[in-house]
A = this chain, B = another copy of it.
Amino acid sequence: MNTLTSKILDGVRSTLGQQKAALHEPTFEGNEWKYLKECLDSTYVSSVGKFVDQFETNLAEYTGAKYAISVVNGTAALHIALKLAGVSEGDEVLVPALTFVATANAVTYCNAVPHFVDSSEINLGMDAGKLRDYLKNSAQLINGKCVNSFTKRVISAMIPMHTFGHPADMENLLAISRDFNIALIEDAAESLGSYYFGKHTGTFGMFGIISFNGNKVITTGGGGAILTNDIVLAKRAKHITTTAKVPHRSEFIHDEVGYNYRMPNINAALGCAQLEDLQFKLRAKRRLFHLYKENLANISEIRIIEEPANCISNYWLQTIRINQENEFLREEVIETTNNEGYMTRPAWQLISSLKPYNNFPRMNLDTSESLVKGLINLPSGSGLISKIT
């Protein structure tokens, strides 16, 4: 084993102790059981119910968004946000290359084309400076629409993502959105509890979306939400995610092509309990970050990814980056730590390199390519902290 691998393993072991540590395991230490039972007893386990209403209210309150619409998962949330932002067949949508594949898939569901953007070394999100220069050189405003000068397609939306919970450069991304007339949808799937200059992520753009998958800060089993401050868009989102059924005592009238994207009440019951414990979980995750930082501080060949300046990160996934000289050790580090019971993993492969997307438009992706070679996610669940002796 290389010395660096050994030092990283020691740092992880010093942080987590001898426990077997998953990458991100959910914890259920609050009212989960109580609410689930209440939900079953009410028989309202399905498409409507008080937990759905309560979850949406509490989520809006927590994030500061005016409206929250719960849905079946983050992918569905993105799909609807894009649709309601006006993304049409044949449009292009700017997405980071360094993200989960769902971001690009949602664009494809709209019969639109993902167009890949490079990431920042600092926050791992869309590089606003590079994006502005790129658009200046390769797009132009024609009748108020941003048109790709090469493909002649309209670039109608952009989806910055708050990678591993670290807020992206919202001020400069919003400026691009305004200057080039590109609708901004925030992919806050990973960043519930993360703030940019004091304002919750997911509340800056036309829409923000959140995921409650089992590996997220809090979970509803499967689930997601759409955030917006616009009442008209909020009503449209609720309508189109609930089969576009027009309220009526008994008749079934659907006034447009809708989706069955509702979060079931039983999943929302879980979410209500999880949301009550969010602050506790976030504190535990922050403490875990500081422990990792301390225990890995002396290893000059790596850096731990920290929240950007003026931001609060939820530290969803703790992440280290091995420097370029040593990135050949990434596989060894991952294998060694996993063999020792610490579940680590690389970042996603760039979606721009995946088979379904490797022929789509992109800017130069040097930084993303470099990041992917060196990034490693460490065990990050909020439950790890209580197990540390």
Contact = CB atoms under 8 A, between A and B. Distances in A.
Contact of A26 (B43, B75, B244): B43
Interface string A336-358: 00100000111011010011100
A232 interface: no
A264 B222 contact: yes
A46 interface: yes
Nearest to A267: B221
B258 A346 contact: no
Nearest to A25: B43
A46 B254 contact: no
A254 B354 contact: yes
Nearest to A111: B111
Given A33-B37, A259-B105, A267-B266, A221 B46 contact: yes
B349 A252 contact: yes
Nearest to A331: B250
A214 B346 contact: no
Contact of A215 (B40, B46, B243, B251): B46
A186 B233 CA distance: 36
Contacts of A257: 105, 108, 356
Contacts of A255: 354-356
A275 to B, nearest CB: 15
Interface string A15-50: 000000000011110001100110010011111000
B251 A346 contact: yes
A122 interface: no
Nearest to A351: B254
Contact of A40 (B33, B43, B73, B105): B33
A44 B354 CA distance: 28
Contacts of A250: 334, 338, 344-346
A72 B222 contact: yes
Nearest to A41: B28
A28 B44 CA distance: 11
Contacts of A252: 100-101, 348-349
A203 interface: no
Instruction: Give the dominant DSSP class at A's interface.
Output: loop
A49 to B, nearest CB: 9
Contact of A266 (B46, B260, B265, B270): B270
A47 B214 contact: yes
Given A46-B214, A102-B260, A252-B100, A221 B33 contact: no
Contact of A43 (B28, B108, B348): B28
B32 A40 contact: yes
A45 B25 CA distance: 10
A245 to B, nearest CB: 8
A345 B32 CA distance: 35
A123 interface: no
Contacts of A346: 250-251
Which one of A26, A43, A253 has the highest number of Cβ atoms from chain B below 10 Å of its Cβ? A43
Interface of A: 25-28, 32-33, 36-37, 40, 43-47, 72-76, 100-102, 105, 108-109, 111, 213-215, 219, 221-222, 243-244, 249-260, 262-267, 270, 334, 338, 344-346, 348-349, 351, 354-356
Nearest 8 CB-CB pairs, A to B? Answer: A46-B214, A221-B264, A75-B260, A222-B264, A221-B266, A252-B348, A250-B345, A45-B221
Given A25-B43, A255-B356, 15 more contacts: A28-B40, A45-B214, A46-B221, A47-B222, A73-B260, A74-B260, A101-B243, A102-B260, A105-B259, A222-B262, A222-B263, A250-B334, A253-B354, A256-B356, A257-B356
